[in-house]
Amino acid sequence: MGSVRHENIGDRMVKVFLPPYEHPPPWRPPNEIEGHPDYDSDLRQFLPRIVKFKRNRYNDQLGFNIRGGKEHRCGIYVSKVYQGSNAERIGIQVGDKLISVNGHNFEDLPHDDAVRILKSSNEIEMKIKYFPYGFEKTFERSYITSPGASNNGGFFYD
């Protein structure tokens, strides 16, 4: 069982649930480490990358859903990738953070603006990076919204 602490967020006191301590993986001889997922130290998967794709029409699906936004105090993340979609074929994955789309900075953008930008073009160039830790935080932050903001978790269904 984890622990609970209280934290001030703006003018409110909020309960923060901390996960239980997770022990490191067991020791393995060096010959067993190579290729073992617990010991993968290749950080290239977390580097920003550029992906490009085209849609035939403006109303064609993008092939993925997004979650988050400025009003939820987090970035915009891919929350679902549809099987067989162009998004899946070019390597977009759940947990990818959208950094920019067609030259628009997505780092501090409201959810609705992100949806509008994504749906406004047939040719899309996105700078993204895989950041699963930040994506997981969107589930915690969706329960704490700015005054007057909706509390829908920032879902966008394509």
Cα gap 4→6, rounded to integer Å: 7
Residue 120 covered by a domain: yes
The model's pLDDT over 55-101, given as tens digits with 9 standing for 90+, comes to 887 778 899 999 999 998 899 999 999 999 989 999 999 999 999 99
Write the CA distances from 89 to 77, 81, 102, integer angstroms.
18, 10, 19
Output the domain CATH number for residue 56.
2.30.42.10
Cα–Cα–Cα angle for 87, 89, 95, nearest 5°? 50
Q: Give the count of domains, the chain.
A: 1
Element (H, E) at 14: strand 12-18
The model's pLDDT over 34-50, given as tens digits with 9 standing for 90+, comes to 777 777 777 888 899 99
Name the token pair of 15. 């309960």
The model's pLDDT over 128-153, given as tens digits with 9 standing for 90+, comes to 999 988 888 888 755 544 444 444 44
Is the whole-model pTM more than 0.85? Answer: no
